Amino acid sequence: MAIRHPSPSANGSTALQVPLEPALDRHSASVRLPAPLAKRDRLVCKLEKKRRAVTRARAVAVATTSEFLQKLPPLLKERAVLVAETAALFDEVLAREHLSMRARRQVRLVRQALEEDGFFETVALESLGLTDVYLESVLREINGAFRLHARKQGTHAFEGGEPAHQIAIETYSAAHPSTGVENEPRQTVLERATVDLRAQLGELGRELWQLQQATCTLKTFLADTEHEVARTRVIVEHVRAFRDGRISLASFVRGPACLDDEDLVELVEILWGDPPEDEDFALAFPTRKRGRRRARRPRRKKRGRRR
């Protein structure tokens, strides 16, 4: 099938050809602006994505900090009360007259092991610097504006707003012919805008990293504190059960059975040392190695006496 081509006009041009404006002809060899414009557009897209990520990270940081400031003081106070109760229970058990010397020695060893592990050390809010004035300042700082230098001091790329700057560049391009010499001012403006966009992107990246690090630190500290308080509750209940006579001395020395595996291993290591190499651990926790059973040898037939 033949393809029909439009007939040329009198001046040699086709009827479908539309003359392009000089300012819009970005495929001309004399124009050096398509690459800077594309680079600027890519940077603007990255900047908008980074801003949205910073906004989300800031919202998460605000929620995490509020939860941290609400949950941490009660947890620290509860642990201080539990530690004081544990010390009182140990004193009460050791003060009994009918306690045997062996049991007294074992109880003292358990208490000494807990002291060396730092179980009886309490952390106050004042020692962490979490005073009322500091907490109020933290909330005020989090609920405030971004701590960006580029936010406080506007860059050339965002003077008057980014759309206004783009309109100014396009207006300048439409008012001047597309020649390489006369595009030098526009080229300079785009290069300066690109540098400023990169600086703004770097500032947002650093702000995002700081927000993520702060959020991760607060979550980790709060989770560790909750885990330590739960572990303290179990140990207090274990000592109370021994005080009330609900468990034996061997069970008391062995440690709480309701702890999970990691906590139980930690407590056993506190009381007995390294489990694989300690003889006391092997005696307290005897394990039977189940291997392959040896096959029995066939019995020999008894030979009768020869007559």
Residue ranges per structural domain of the chain? 52-282
With beta carbons less than 8 A apart as the criterion, state whether 215 and 201 touch. no
**pTM for the predicted model, two decimal places:** 0.56
pLDDT in tens, 98-136: 888 999 999 999 999 888 888 888 776 655 656 556 556
Cβ neighbourhood burial of 123 (10 Å; 0-12, 13-18, 19+): middle
- pLDDT at site 233: 92
- pLDDT at site 14: 43
Q: What percent of the chain has pLDDT over 70?
A: 51
Q: CA–CA separation, 30 vs 49, rounded Å?
A: 33
**Tens of pLDDT, residue by residue, the chain (307 residues):** 454 544 454 454 444 343 333 443 444 434 455 666 777 778 888 888 888 888 888 888 888 888 888 888 889 889 999 999 999 999 999 998 888 899 999 999 999 988 888 888 877 665 565 655 655 665 555 555 444 433 443 344 444 444 445 545 555 555 555 544 445 566 777 777 778 888 888 888 888 888 888 888 888 888 888 998 999 999 999 999 999 988 888 888 888 865 554 554 454 454 444 444 444 444 444 444 444 555 566 666 666 666 5
Task: Please count the residues of the chain.
Answer: 307
- pLDDT at site 279: 45
With beta carbons less than 8 A apart as the criterion, state whether 172 and 186 touch. yes
112: CB partners within 8 A, 6+ apart = none
Handedness of CA 281, 235, 270, 100 (dihedral sign): negative
Q: CA–CA separation, 183 vs 180, rounded Å?
A: 5
